[in-house]
Amino acid sequence: MSAVIQKKETVFVIQKMDCPTEEKLIRNHLSGMAGVDDLRFNLVERELTVRYSLESDELIEAALRDIDMAPARKDSNASSSHPTSVPVHTKMIVGLSGITAITAEVLGWVIGNEQNYAVIALSVIAILTGGYGTVKKGWTALRTFTLNIYFLMTLAVTGAALIGEWPEAAMVTFLFAFAELIENYSLDRARNAIRNLMAMTPEVATVKQPDGSWQVVSVDAVQMEALVRVKPGERIPLDGIVMNGQSSVNQAAITGESMPVEKKTGDTILAGTLNERGSFEFRVTANKGNTTLARIIRSVQAAQSDRAPTQRFVDRFAAYYTPAVVLLAVLIAIVPPLFFGAVFKIWFYKALVMLVIACPCALVISTPVTVVSGLAAAARNGILIKGGVYLEEGRRLKALALDKTGTLTYGKPVATDISPLDGGATDRYLRLAASLESHSEHPVAQAIVMHVVKDKSQNALQEVTDFESITGRGIKGKIEGGLYYVGNHRLVEELGICNRDVEAVLERLEKEGKTTLILTTEQKPLCIFAVADTIRETSVAAIKDLEEQGIHCVILTGDNQITANAIAAKTGIKDVRGNMLPEDKLKAIEELQQRYGITGMVGDGVNDAPALAKASIGFAMGAAGTDTALETADVALMEDDLHRLPLFIDLSRKTGTILKQNITLAIAIKVVFLAMNFANLATLWMAVFADMGASLIVIFNGLRLLKFKKPAYSHDHGSYEHSHHHH
């Protein structure tokens, strides 16, 4: 450390922080401290990240202790192993509080006197056992000038006791403590959604030692480039590249694809995926903490602590709403008795009910729970969303720009047509062309070689002698003594053997946006081959689904317009723009945003970075192995399947609906109770019950998102076999 104090950050795990109430308390207390630069809260993981420019974080820790938020520093290895279940003694205390409160209520009713010593004694036990935590937090809130539910509850209970409503005070205390317990349990469900992701990587790996033996070691200790062996049925411990052996791997955990994927030498495998039947060895390419899965988990956690728009709105609303209601409660307690000679006790009681109604807890907690559930459901379906903002924006998408190569198409040329010109055997011509092309590095050439090698054994290729490349025209070489050429139109022209038939075939194929090659001798052309990038079957169906969702789709591609049109025709997209450089794509996005509003961009994240960044939501395709895509995009689709897009929009719409339901519900319950209070129908413990009931309803409503399943696409099964040989 130099003399200048640099910005540092500490992550504290605070067991007592799981409601926005505590967050506000901590914010009020810490944000004024000298040297504290930034606070980031993750309520679901109960973590607080503090950025500061002090010598050490001792002062911050002391400040947290001061408001009774016992912090523990989170060290990297004990990542979130902290138990979240409610401790047994808490349950017992709440139980005791419940028994005594109910007994007091019954006894008071039987005797007909709530001022009876036994009734009061039972009530006091109930209040002390159930309300100890609440009062402690209420006192902290008072000291730090924070209006929160604990402060309001403490006031209400004290007030009720003061006017002699002992059993009532006891019931209120118990109900509140009990509801807090249930709330903890239900929030744990949202927490576990993320935890389950973490549990997917094994703790140990079988690693090859320098002496050649295999040893089981902790995953933490495995170095980059180490050789790891995986047996059938085991989960893969780290990212890597298969060195030998082959198997099929179930990648559903990360990419959300249902079918296992074949893996052979040279293929990428990801930590947390499940090896099915074969065994293989792989070379480690990412150590613990840097694997794709670890990055996904980090992204989801970072996304939670970013505030989604609804949450920001709700927090602002609560900031005005609570003080207003508290002020109203004070007026209700004072004005009628003072100025209108009303009975103080009755109006004071009404004021207490008002205080309980004032708590916006249900409203405030509903948003983070809903958003976290949505993020977790997306991650399960192979969609990684970088923030609640994008989860909410998704439902408002109006237009979507798609990169063509590698997004709509496989991004790899494949031989599509073989047209012999003299009725000769296609097999022989293919073999001749492939034998020559196998000496060329050109991707179009490789497409033809692949076509032959894929269907037949390796020895289908023949010996080539005197091989020579003719720049800008093609290649030539001798096979079994005869001289053959493979090249473009120009080559045939220059050999002086071009004819009408050749021209006609070439013209037809080029109109379809295909690249052509001609196999010829010096005397006559023999066969024309066409090569093209083929469209993914999944793309056509996915585009149809997007159009049905009312989204205007546009193709933006660097390819020529003819090829672009050919692909567009197959997908049914009308708006297609070819010959686009990265900066043209950027301009196109700006133009779409002006014309349609919220515009998404789907690309592979490498050459489309500027456009992805400019779009309202940038989607990266097939991000399961690539760093750039995970970094630049707002939403990463882990698999090369556009179906994840309509799925994302469905999920976003569902999240929006649930958020609206939750806000409406929470506010409606408050309004109903305000009315009941003035009509003399509301009792204190009904108010607590309603308040907590509302919280639980909105939490469980939010958790419904965890069950989000992708709708079965009828045209889905055909797509999987095709989508993998290009990795």
The secondary structure of 374-396 as a DSSP string is HHHHHHHTTEEES-HHHHHHGGG
Task: Single out the residue of 240, 236, 218 nearest to residue 227, CA to CA.
Answer: 240
Instruction: Report residue 46 as tokens.
Output: 């109960």
**What is the rounded distance in angstroms from the CA atom of residue 137 to the CA atom of residue 143?**
10
Span 164-212, pLDDT tens digits: 788 888 887 887 888 777 777 777 776 776 677 777 788 889 999 989 8
Looking at residue 456, its pLDDT comes to 57
Q: What is the largest CA-CA distance in the chain?
A: 120
Looking at residue 726, its pLDDT comes to 39
Helical spans, DSSP H, in 384-536: 388-393, 426-437, 443-455, 489-495, 500-511
Looking at residue 86, its pLDDT comes to 64
Task: Name the pTM for this structure.
Answer: 0.78
Helix (H) or strand (E) holding 31: none
Place of tokens 């995953």: 219
Span 547-600, pLDDT tens digits: 999 999 999 988 888 888 888 888 889 999 988 888 888 899 999 999 999 999
For residues 255 and 639, the answer to whether their CB atoms sit within 8 Å is yes
Span 88-127, pLDDT tens digits: 777 788 888 878 877 777 777 777 776 777 888 888 888 7
Looking at residue 727, its pLDDT comes to 39
**What is the rounded distance in angstroms from the CA atom of residue 434 to the CA atom of residue 531?**
13
Say whether 223 sits in a helix, a strand or coil: coil
Looking at residue 458, its pLDDT comes to 55
Residue 403 bears catalytic tag: yes
Looking at residue 695, its pLDDT comes to 83
Looking at residue 79, its pLDDT comes to 45
Looking at residue 661, its pLDDT comes to 94
Q: What domains lie within the chain, and their CATH numbers?
A: 8-78 (3.30.70.100), 113-194+302-371+656-707 (no CATH), 204-290 (2.70.150.10), 383-409+536-648 (3.40.50.1000), 411-534 (3.40.1110.10)
Secondary-structure percent of the chain, ordered helix, strand, coil, rounded to 5: 55, 20, 30
Looking at residue 94, its pLDDT comes to 80
**What is the rounded distance in angstroms from the CA atom of residue 19 to the CA atom of residue 15?**
11
For residues 518 and 487, the answer to whether their CB atoms sit within 8 Å is yes
The low-confidence residues of the chain, meaning pLDDT below 70, are 1-6, 18-20, 44, 75-86, 114, 190, 193-194, 257-258, 304-306, 454-459, 605-607, 623-630, 710-727
Looking at residue 18, its pLDDT comes to 67
The secondary structure of 55-102 as a DSSP string is S-SHHHHHHHHHTT--EEEPPGGGTT----SPPHHHHHHHHHHHHHHH
Q: Which of 239, 403, 559, 640 is catalytic?
A: 403
Task: Single out the residue of 371, 465, 244, 326 nearest to residue 656, CA to CA.
Answer: 371
Phi, psi values for residue 622, rounded to 5°:
50, 50
Say whether 285 sits in a helix, a strand or coil: strand
Looking at residue 724, its pLDDT comes to 38
Q: For the chain, first and last CA: distance in Å?
A: 45
Looking at residue 720, its pLDDT comes to 35
Say whether 256 sits in a helix, a strand or coil: coil
